Amino acid sequence: MDNLLKVALAQISPVWLNKGATLVKIKTSIENAASEKAELIVFGEALLPGYPFWLALTNGAAWDLKVNKEIHAHYVRNSIQVEAGELDSVCALAKKHNIAIYLGIMERAKDRGGHSIYCSLVYINELGEIKSVHRKLQPTYDERLTWAPGDGNGLKVHPLKEFTVGGLNCWENWMPLPRTALYGLGENLHIAVWPGNENNTKDITRFIARESRSYVISVSSLMSKKDFPEGTPHLDKILEKSPEVLGNGGSCIAGPDGEWLVEPVLYAEGLIYHTLDFNLVYEERQNFDPVGHYSRPDVTKLTVNRERQSTVEFND
């Protein structure tokens, strides 16, 4: 039935800053979700290869500090260059199992020189095709010490059975205008990805659902002190100030009425399943639709620049 969609929320930890080992975990999760007949699987923000937790633990704002330079270089080396085919094996699994995927990566963007990194949310459809790579518009607080600001090119939605799915990274979900851009494209299943904390998901998930009258899936990663692997540069300094738990999860789902379908799940690693019924979207749009019958485009209107930004334009 096209109005029903079985989803899997992959609340897992990375093998921190090890893209090869983390890819193995991601592919295992996809295989497991497919075996349960899931049609969409979602992974957390920056899961591949991990969130820059060291910034809060190693005096990350210190100028020209060798420790931070060396960890940053390790981070860049373990980030993903999509153009080089580093997600091809994930795409092949999507096609093999007819499953769509939202995956949070650190992107080493070739079209921006190949040395800066972007917090990107990649959508791979059920045919194994990469349909959008959304670079986080505004890194949050200390993230700006290692992530570059993105652009609007990835503000796109995608058809999935009767649903129209779109997504944002972490605190982008608090930005009203990017949300509106997705609503205006017909989004009715919103994906919000996070590095891993119930404090991020417990309020905004239900709020977006109620504002948009859409399903909202929030997926967080997990991270504990034991997840920093041996071989990480300056591991001793990182562990010295690290709490035992850096990300406790909080993955959850809210329905189009803003009520919980799956309340935030804490500390548990694994896949969380739920089946969504598209009919509930139509039911809740009866009395409110923020870009439809309950909007006034003659009074307020949003303009969106979706051009992929680049410093250099070549005319050969």
Handedness of CA 69, 74, 78, 83 (dihedral sign): positive
User: Would you place residue 116 in the very low, low, confident or very high pLDDT band (cuts 50, 70, 90)?
Assistant: very high
53 vs 127: CA distance, rounded Å: 34
Mean per-residue pLDDT over the chain, rounded? 97
**Residue 307 and residue 152 in contact, taking contact as beta carbons nearer than 8 Å:** yes
Residue 294 placed within a domain = no
Strands 215-220 and 245-254: antiparallel
Q: Smallest Cα–Cα separation from 232: which of 46, 64, 58?
A: 58
**Tens digits of per-residue pLDDT, 176-199?**
999 999 999 999 999 999 999 999
Q: Annotate 271-306 with DSSP letters as a single string.
A: EEEEEEETHHHHHHHTT--TTTTT--TTT-------
Residue 226's pLDDT is what?
93
Tokens of 267: 């500390």
47: three-class secondary structure by DSSP? coil
SS3 content of the chain, % helix, strand, coil (to 5): 35, 30, 40
Whether residue 53 is predicted with pLDDT greater than 90 in this model: the reply is yes
Residue 172 placed within a domain = yes
Residue 312 placed within a domain = no
**Residue 214 and residue 208 in contact, taking contact as beta carbons nearer than 8 Å:** yes
Which 3-state string (H, E, C) describes 115-144? CCEEEEEEEECCCCCEEEEEECCCCCHHHH
**Tens digits of per-residue pLDDT, 225-257?**
999 999 999 999 999 999 999 999 999 999 999
193: three-class secondary structure by DSSP? strand
Give the total number of structural domains in the chain. Answer: 1
Tokens of 276: 């969504």
How distant, in Å, are the alpha carbons of 86, 183, 295, 304 from that of 300? 42, 15, 8, 13
Give the position of tokens 């995927």.
Answer: 101
- Full-prediction pTM beyond 0.75? yes
Residue 78 placed within a domain = yes
Residues 6+ apart with CB under 8 A from 236: none
Residue 9 placed within a domain = yes
**Tens digits of per-residue pLDDT, 62-109?**
899 999 999 999 999 999 999 999 999 999 999 999 999 999 999 999
Whether residue 313 is predicted with pLDDT greater than 90 in this model: the reply is no
Residue 213's pLDDT is what?
98
Residue 304 placed within a domain = no
Residue scoring higher pLDDT (59 or 205): 205
What percent of the chain clears pLDDT 70, i.e. is strictly above it? 100
Domain that holds residue 261: 4-285
Q: Smallest Cα–Cα separation from 204: which of 224, 181, 220?
A: 220
Q: Cα-flanking dihedrals φ and ψ of residue 168, to 5°? A: -135, 160
What CATH number is given to the structural domain containing 196? 3.60.110.10
Residue 238 placed within a domain = yes
Rounded to an integer, the average pLDDT of 212-223 is: 98
Residue 132 placed within a domain = yes
Q: Cα-flanking dihedrals φ and ψ of residue 41, to 5°? A: -125, 140
**Tens digits of per-residue pLDDT, 287-302?**
999 999 999 999 999 9
Residue 60's pLDDT is what?
87
Residues 6+ apart with CB under 8 A from 237: 57, 58, 67
